[in-house]
Homo-oligomer: A and B are copies of this chain.
């Protein structure tokens, strides 16, 4: 079914100590469809070199900058050259490498949120749309099989018309001024210049927003945002809530915090419709609870025989053998790869493979950030949510 050769990745970012860079690799490599062949791992050439050694790369393909990577790779024969550029840098280094990668003819996998700001997002949107290359935005949580099951059940009408969406994303790691304690992650994520103007809402609120729309299948039409800086001295929000109204009349509540002291990462979504409800939480990601008004709730489990095609195409173990966060990443990468392979083979990718987040999700996420910041400043309760492209 799949043809001939692994997809060759050139990685931008993911230097020594990076969290998300390593996870992208775990996910991309797991299924044997990708190989890492090149990288510009850090703006510091020494660190880039060090990371290249750790990753056992050919030193001639470890670059001091992504510009160098693009230049040198393009000199290689097409059969050796990288196919995909994966970008795992801070948000201020998303736009430029993504645009260049596309222009040089590489597929792009980019960590979320799309860009540093809304203007970049709008520009990138048109570049991606005009390109014939594939574009993956790693909204991880939409890679979980039971999230996909929820999406499919709702799309197929199992809970009826959606009335209500609750999504909560509690973290606690920024419970103190960690950015003053030499923590790299905390430093850039609380720095408006590298992270953008929305802190918590940009980093994890966008995940929650994406999940709300992805699972419900409904689009937000208005919001009411209330952001907080809970830790004195922090320049951007670390906590907040966004009320939502959807085009179909449903309502929603999105909470996100990085100062819920002691909380880990238990993203949780609950969607209720006219006939039933679905509940999922990330720390128990292999389980989806379905609730019904006059019958016992059901525990749907990943890897079972009774799930729909979306879940089935996004799992690799039988029931009771937990898959996790890395597999969610791997699902995004695997679907991205399957589509590339299918097109190479002149085939039409399965709809289940096309179900990975991309530029439409990206621009909506940046619109979310933009509208949340505006609504937070406003004394008026509701701000219409209109995505400009």
A residues with CB within 8 A of B: 1-6, 19, 22-23, 25-26, 29-33, 35-36, 54-56, 159-160, 163-164, 166, 168, 170-173, 175-176, 224, 226, 228, 230, 239, 241, 243, 251, 253, 255, 257, 259-266, 270, 272-277, 282-286, 289-301, 304-306, 316-327, 330, 378-382
Contacts and interface: CB of A to CB of B under 8 A. Distances in A.
Contacts of A25: 32
A33 B139 CA distance: 26
B29 A32 contact: yes
Given A29-B32, A262-B297, A23 B316 contact: yes
A299 B301 contact: no
Contact of A322 (B2, B283, B294): B283
B381 A1 contact: no
A299 B300 CA distance: 11
A251 B224 contact: no
Contacts of A326: 30, 316-317, 323-324, 326-327
B291 A296 contact: no
Given A56-B6, A275-B261, A322 B319 contact: no
Q: Classify the interface of chain A: helix, strand, loop or mixed.
A: loop
21 contacts: A1-B54, A23-B321, A32-B36, A170-B270, A175-B293, A176-B293, A224-B226, A241-B243, A243-B243, A261-B275, A261-B277, A264-B320, A265-B320, A283-B322, A284-B284, A295-B306, A296-B298, A326-B327, A379-B381, A379-B382, A380-B381
A298 B306 CA distance: 14
Nearest to A257: B164
What is the total number of copies of this protein in its complex?
A: 4
Contact of A299 (B224, B265, B296, B327): B296
B319 A264 contact: yes
Which one of A26, A173, A265, A301 has the greatest number of beta carbons of chain B within 10 Å? A26
Contacts of A26: 30-31, 316, 330
A173 to B, nearest CB: 8
A172 B265 contact: no
B263 A291 contact: yes
A260 B239 contact: no
**Which A-B residue pairs are the 9 nearest by beta carbons?**
A262-B291, A265-B320, A264-B320, A322-B324, A324-B324, A296-B298, A321-B325, A297-B299, A264-B319
Nearest to A33: B56
Nearest to A275: B261
Nearest to A34: B29
Contacts of A380: 379-381
A29 to B, nearest CB: 5
A146 to B, nearest CB: 11
Which one of A3, A30, A380 has the greatest number of beta carbons of chain B within 10 Å? A30
A266 B277 CA distance: 14
Contacts of A228: 251
Contacts of A239: 163-164, 251
Contact of A286 (B23, B243, B283, B316): B283
A370 B321 CA distance: 28
A29 B321 CA distance: 18
